[in-house]
Chains A and B, each alone.
Chain A
Amino acid sequence: MKKISRRNVLKLAAASGALLTAGKGMVGNALAGSIELAMGGRDFNPDTGKERKAVPTVCYNCVTRDPKIAFVEDGRVVKIEGQPNSIRSLGKICAKGQAGVNQVYFPDRILYPLKRVGKRGDGKYKRISWDEALTDLAARMKKLRDDGHPEKLMYHYGRAKGSSSKLPKSLFMATYGTKTIGNHTTICEGGKFVAQELTWGKHYDNWDFDNTEYVLNFGSSIFEAHTNHIPLSQRLMKAMIERNVPFITFDVRLSNTASKSTKWEPVRPGTDLAVLLAINNIIMQEDLYDREAFTYIRATEDVTASVDEKIAALKKHLAQYTAEWAETKSGVAATDITKYAREFAKAKAATVISYRGLVAHMNGTEGERAAQMLAMITGNVNSPGGRCLAVAPHWKYPKGPKNKPHAKKLKITNGQNIAYPTHGASHQVLKMIKDGSHGRPDIYFWYCYNPVYVNGECQENKDILSDEKLMPFTVTSNIVYDESSKLADLILPDTSYLERWDWDGNASPTQVAEYELRQPAVEPLGECRNFSDVLCDLAKRMDMPLGVENMEEFVKLSCEMTPALKGLPGGGFEYMKKHGVYHDPKEKPNFYVHKKIIKDKDLKKEGVIFDEATGVYWNWKKSKAKDEADAKNKGYFDTHYSYKGYVGQKIGNKVYKGFKPDKINKTGFFELYSTLLKVKGYDPMPIWKDIPGHEKLGGNKLVLTTYKVAVQIHSRSSHCKWLSEMFHDNPAWINSKTAAGLGIKNGDEISLSSVNGKIKIKAYVNEMIVPGAIAISFHLGREESGRYGSGKKSPMASDNDPDLKLKWWDTYGVHPNWLITNKPNPVSGQMCYMDEVVTVNKV
């Protein structure tokens, strides 16, 4: 068999295509056996054989943002495939990505601006013109701004990345003057981000499965869902099958991921930290650590401590965490813990991976920091096959008007008394508004977000958002009528991601940046308008032009400004429109970045000073210090925004790039010992913490755990028929022994209650969950999500989908969040989703 290039495959295929017109009697598989089949890149109508138009673009059904091709036929997107030229996705895309077609054409889609006409929450709307909608909204916003209170416009977004993050925030909101901006990160993985920032500076880690020899997994369902799902999961599977890489998963549940693992280690909820501390301890006591790595580690208050002192300090700190102790906490056998510790440390390259199963707990910050510790002390950080600082594209973009106002902010986005809410505390926003002591927004404007549904304590969210005294004016830009849209005074019909422009990109598993362009595959349906285009329009109506007409122009200018792209054939924008992705073929993966020596001349630059207490060289001019004397007097640690001037870390007599801080005044060490934590009253090193409330478990008191399945996005896909057809019911998983003890049989209706309320749900009694836990996925139980997701027709919905008559399910599942407390982790603000104790009874 001769391999031929893709180019030739295309030509050959075109040649054989002639056969199709010769009549079906002559149709033969002309290419069989003689050439390798092309993996993709082209698609055809199965009935007519006509080739479908291929539009390179980028998925947005989840934050992974796989580059893809949208195939268009007669002006409709009919099929989606992965982009074969992407170094991230390698031409693959998941079930949710494939179902992106449904995001455009689901019959309950909002197609026109809708204005509330009944009581808020009654669901009565009338169709209005864009001009009416924006005239009203612009007048309200202009009044706030002209009254000197731009901060009373709150912008709250769920999913906004790339240019869809920058244009609304850096252009519109900045020019308008509000910094009352919330996100959704702490209901996701904010705690993982903060823990990483405290340890190695940046918030996002890449896992180099292409080169790893061993993988330990604490609470990541990487084969179902992940923030870099398709790029990482396929590489992990390849490593397992083709190189026999062991993959051990610690999880309360036999997830699909756990089931594909070399070994599933069931772990009691909230006890992964104990296992990690014990593994670290064994590695230290048995001298299996990487001595050289300790050069870059901080394990004591004293930043000048020798490697031996640091090793001794860590050994001493961990000594109490024996494998036997960890077994009593977690249920994982001490012999297994010891075995994994030794195997991990002895592997040539090993990766420790983690997600919400580890971090969405009250001890989640310690958990993630203990995982970071394991990677670092075994020399598996920024190394081939290890846990590496993520590499993503560096886009340049227009910054809008030069003279922006000094933006104001209501202090309602970071919760209260959280030590380092560097990613906000989104699930606390509504509570803060209810509380009112830090002010309330007059206009609450949310985008790609569903605050009622995605946060815990759904009833309270609903009550707050319904209350016109707390929330005078509510507005959203959305494609779907959901639980929160239902409480909006004004609903603006957004474009789906297949109808809009964006520049984008995400971490690359190869450690080489990939640039991505999202372009419209089809014209927007109805009167849908992209949210960012609407903001440009609103800006004009308020006499504050942003310097770009719309998102297309913003994206075009960004392509032309970005150094990596501007010199490409035909210009950056034209190149990206044609190809969809770009990476520099000459760029090599950059490992061991922390070991880079800082040049002398960089230390002698204007403003760079040395801080004795931390060993950090930093440029005080980039901080908030008044002058050099002020900077020196306060020092690196206590000067506001000193981290912005970080240059390098002095270790011995050399200055290294080290682990550059990103959000907080961390040193350039890999901080296993954190002064930042110490000054806030927390132990500077990861210690064991029992989960408050878990001491009273047993009987019918179970720990509620939630999870994602492979075929639904958290909250934005239940209206997609191809996904909800497969997943529209979510019974609660309960171990057969636990169930027997409570007299519960498979299929029984059970009730779960917590301090926040009560739900009824069917029991799924099985052998796939640790005793004492109960698990419910969190995609279903939709009050509003159109007919496919909730059985309810949305206002002004159409009936133009022939599948509506064939819909055969009438169950829509149950949502667990009604029970879950919006409780933040005290260090990171992470919502402790997995800690809720519920009382379970047979109904």
Chain B
Amino acid sequence: MTTNTRDDRREMLRVTGASLAAAGLASVSLLQPKEAAAAQVKTPQWVMIMDLRRCTGCRACTVACKSEYDVPIGAFKTVIKQVVTGKYPDTRKTFIPRRCNHCEGTEKVGNITVPPCVKACPEYPKDRRVFVTAEGKKIRYRGGATYKRPDGLILIDNDACTGCGKCIDACPYGARTFNKRKLSGKDKSKNAIVKCSSCVHRLDEGVTPACVNTCAPGARIFGDINDPNSDVAKLAREFSLLENRDKTTMKPEAKTMPNIFYIDPDGVLADYSFDDKDKLTEYRDIVE
């Protein structure tokens, strides 16, 4: 794993076509794209860690998300589930924040490893795209109605979507649903799909997702796990999150390799379950 350096950042600016003057940074010798590639840089990998010790079930995240996207009534992109265990007076109540897991996946489409939703999408793979890393490395990938970006985000391109809903059925978590106020790009008789995008429109502007922004107890930690100095990387090491996916991710038996991890010292995730039948209603946030 390489550390992103100052020079890397400057290189990023050059590649993105920004002038150094505009960025207010001094001009020094820059790495060329070729050299950057040679330096074995990794793509970023966006990860969110839900710290169950901190989540108070306040739902600021849920509303922030509703507002950020004007998510229609009836649909949620992120919810908080409540798990109650034990008998009075030794009762415990824990809150489990949920959103699209932006799974790594274990199935293949061509050379690409994709999660079930992408695998199920009849409109994937489609257009050819280029992802430019911070270091200037160009990575080619394929778009589609539902696709995986090289930084790990599972995104929707509604222009390519027929609204068939196969991705909704394929998601083991119920994280996707129809947007009843928006039509799919390719078939105006069908609805568009709504799900968490990790606020890619904010990330691409250097701003953290809306749910993270508003989380007062600091239960949502977001960042690049490939950056060893990031908060997520530090927490992942401290709590061995990557090594214990069966305990730190949602529904490990689905073998989707989620990129949302849970700090769960009391092992509450094990007490939380939902089956395929009620997975969609699981994405309705109800305060008890």
Residues of A in contact with B (beta carbons under 8 Å apart): 1-2, 7-9, 11-20, 22, 24-35, 37-46, 49, 51, 78-82, 91-95, 97-99, 101, 223-224, 230, 233-234, 237-238, 241, 254, 256-257, 259-260, 264, 266, 709-711, 721-723, 725-727, 735-737, 764, 766-771, 802-803, 806-808
| B window 56-73: CB within 8 A of A | 56-60, 62-64, 66-70, 72-73
Residues B130 and A25 in contact, CB atoms below 8 Å apart: yes
Residue of A nearest to B209 (CB): A37
A40 and B208 contact, Cβ closer than 8 Å, known pairs A32-B134, A95-B58, A710-B59: yes
Residues A93 and B56 in contact, CB atoms below 8 Å apart: no
A42 and B217 contact, Cβ closer than 8 Å, known pairs A33-B226, A803-B72: no
Query: Could you count the A-B residue pairs with CB atoms below 8 Å apart for me: how many are there?
Result: 284
Q: Interface 1/0s, chain B 87-98, versus A by CB < 8 A?
A: 111011111000
Residues A802 and B68 in contact, CB atoms below 8 Å apart: no
Residues of B in contact with A (beta carbons under 8 Å apart): 3-6, 8-9, 12-13, 15-19, 22-25, 43-44, 46, 51, 53-54, 56-60, 62-64, 66-70, 72-74, 84, 86-89, 91-95, 127-135, 143, 149, 151, 153, 157, 180-181, 197, 199-208, 210, 212-218, 222-224, 226-227, 229-230, 285-288
- Inter-chain contacts of B204 with A (CB < 8 A): 16-17, 19-20, 27-31, 49
Residue of A nearest to B61 (CB): A95
- Inter-chain contacts of B12 with A (CB < 8 A): 30-31, 34
Residues B206 and A12 in contact, CB atoms below 8 Å apart: yes
Report Cα–Cα, A822/B15, bound state, in Å: 69
Residues A34 and B201 in contact, CB atoms below 8 Å apart: no
6 further contact pairs, Cβ within 8 A, besides A95-B58, A727-B287: A16-B18, A29-B131, A81-B213, A82-B213, A97-B60, A721-B73
Residue of A nearest to B65 (CB): A98
A807 and B130 contact, Cβ closer than 8 Å, known pairs A31-B206, A32-B44, A33-B224: no
Report Cα–Cα, A74/B145, bound state, in Å: 29
User: Which of A15, A43, A98, A266 is in CB contact (< 8 Å) with B60?
Assistant: A98
Report Cα–Cα, A1/B214, bound state, in Å: 24
Report Cα–Cα, A807/B180, bound state, in Å: 11
A807 and B217 contact, Cβ closer than 8 Å, known pairs A18-B16, A726-B287: no
Residues A806 and B180 in contact, CB atoms below 8 Å apart: yes
How far in angstroms is the closest Cβ of chain A from B62? 7
Residues B213 and A237 in contact, CB atoms below 8 Å apart: no
Residues A726 and B62 in contact, CB atoms below 8 Å apart: yes
A38 and B207 contact, Cβ closer than 8 Å, known pairs A2-B9, A806-B72: yes
Residues A79 and B91 in contact, CB atoms below 8 Å apart: no
Q: Which 10 A-B pairs have the closest CB atoms?
A: A15-B18, A32-B44, A259-B93, A34-B134, A28-B132, A98-B63, A13-B206, A92-B216, A223-B56, A237-B217
- Inter-chain contacts of A771 with B (CB < 8 A): 88
- Inter-chain contacts of B128 with A (CB < 8 A): 25
Report Cα–Cα, A16/B204, bound state, in Å: 7
How far in angstroms is the closest Cβ of chain B from A528? 21
- Inter-chain contacts of B54 with A (CB < 8 A): 237, 241
Report Cα–Cα, A41/B210, bound state, in Å: 11
Residues B16 and A16 in contact, CB atoms below 8 Å apart: yes
A35 and B87 contact, Cβ closer than 8 Å, known pairs A29-B204, A237-B218, A259-B92: no
Residues B197 and A46 in contact, CB atoms below 8 Å apart: yes
**What is the interface of chain A mostly: helix, strand, loop, or mixed?**
mixed
Report Cα–Cα, A145/B183, bound state, in Å: 61
25 example contacts (A-B, Cβ-Cβ < 8 A) are as follows A15-B18, A15-B23, A16-B204, A27-B129, A27-B204, A29-B153, A31-B204, A32-B44, A32-B151, A33-B44, A34-B134, A37-B206, A42-B207, A43-B68, A44-B202, A92-B215, A94-B216, A256-B57, A264-B89, A721-B73, A737-B88, A768-B93, A802-B72, A806-B73, A806-B180
Residues A26 and B132 in contact, CB atoms below 8 Å apart: yes
- Inter-chain contacts of A726 with B (CB < 8 A): 59, 62, 285-287
Residues B94 and A259 in contact, CB atoms below 8 Å apart: yes
- Inter-chain contacts of A14 with B (CB < 8 A): 22
Residues A260 and B205 in contact, CB atoms below 8 Å apart: no
How far in angstroms is the closest Cβ of chain B from A155? 33
Residues B287 and A29 in contact, CB atoms below 8 Å apart: no
Residues B217 and A233 in contact, CB atoms below 8 Å apart: yes
- Inter-chain contacts of A51 with B (CB < 8 A): 205
Report Cα–Cα, A257/B57, bound state, in Å: 9
A711 and B59 contact, Cβ closer than 8 Å, known pairs A37-B207, A80-B67: yes
Residues B207 and A1 in contact, CB atoms below 8 Å apart: no
A82 and B92 contact, Cβ closer than 8 Å, known pairs A13-B207, A27-B204: no
Report Cα–Cα, A17/B17, bound state, in Å: 10
A234 and B218 contact, Cβ closer than 8 Å, known pairs A15-B22, A30-B134, A98-B63: yes
**What is the interface of chain B mostly: helix, strand, loop, or mixed?**
loop
- Inter-chain contacts of B205 with A (CB < 8 A): 13, 16-17, 31, 42, 44, 49, 51
Report Cα–Cα, A770/B91, bound state, in Å: 11
How far in angstroms is the closest Cβ of chain B from A405? 47
A11 and B24 contact, Cβ closer than 8 Å, known pairs A18-B18, A43-B68: yes
Residues A81 and B56 in contact, CB atoms below 8 Å apart: no
Residues A98 and B67 in contact, CB atoms below 8 Å apart: yes
How far in angstroms is the closest Cβ of chain B from A42? 5
- Inter-chain contacts of B214 with A (CB < 8 A): 81-82, 92-94, 98
Report Cα–Cα, A737/B89, bound state, in Å: 11
- Inter-chain contacts of B69 with A (CB < 8 A): 46
Residue of B nearest to A725 (CB): B73
Residues A16 and B217 in contact, CB atoms below 8 Å apart: no
Report Cα–Cα, A96/B230, bound state, in Å: 31
Report Cα–Cα, A238/B6, bound state, in Å: 31
A233 and B224 contact, Cβ closer than 8 Å, known pairs A16-B204, A37-B206, A46-B197: no
- Inter-chain contacts of A15 with B (CB < 8 A): 13, 16, 18-19, 22-23
Report Cα–Cα, A9/B222, bound state, in Å: 17
A254 and B23 contact, Cβ closer than 8 Å, known pairs A13-B206, A25-B128: no
Residues A736 and B216 in contact, CB atoms below 8 Å apart: no
- Inter-chain contacts of B25 with A (CB < 8 A): 8
Report Cα–Cα, A39/B218, bound state, in Å: 12
Residues A25 and B127 in contact, CB atoms below 8 Å apart: yes
Report Cα–Cα, A260/B51, bound state, in Å: 12
Residues A254 and B131 in contact, CB atoms below 8 Å apart: no
Report Cα–Cα, A722/B95, bound state, in Å: 19
A1 and B210 contact, Cβ closer than 8 Å, known pairs A34-B8, A37-B222, A78-B67: no
A28 and B133 contact, Cβ closer than 8 Å, known pairs A2-B6, A711-B287: yes
Residues B58 and A223 in contact, CB atoms below 8 Å apart: yes
- Inter-chain contacts of A727 with B (CB < 8 A): 286-287
Residues A8 and B130 in contact, CB atoms below 8 Å apart: no
How far in angstroms is the closest Cβ of chain A from B118? 17
A29 and B44 contact, Cβ closer than 8 Å, known pairs A37-B208, A81-B213, A237-B218: yes
- Chain B CB within 10 Å, residue with most, of A735, A736, A803: A803
Report Cα–Cα, A94/B217, bound state, in Å: 10
- Inter-chain contacts of A98 with B (CB < 8 A): 60, 63-64, 66-67, 214
Report Cα–Cα, A806/B70, bound state, in Å: 13
A266 and B18 contact, Cβ closer than 8 Å, known pairs A12-B206, A31-B203: no
How far in angstroms is the closest Cβ of chain A from B216? 4
User: Which of A710, A735, A802, A808 is in CB contact (< 8 Å) with B57?
Assistant: A710
A735 and B93 contact, Cβ closer than 8 Å, known pairs A11-B22, A15-B23: no
Residues B67 and A40 in contact, CB atoms below 8 Å apart: no
Report Cα–Cα, A263/B203, bound state, in Å: 38
A230 and B62 contact, Cβ closer than 8 Å, known pairs A37-B203, A806-B73: no
Residues A40 and B213 in contact, CB atoms below 8 Å apart: yes
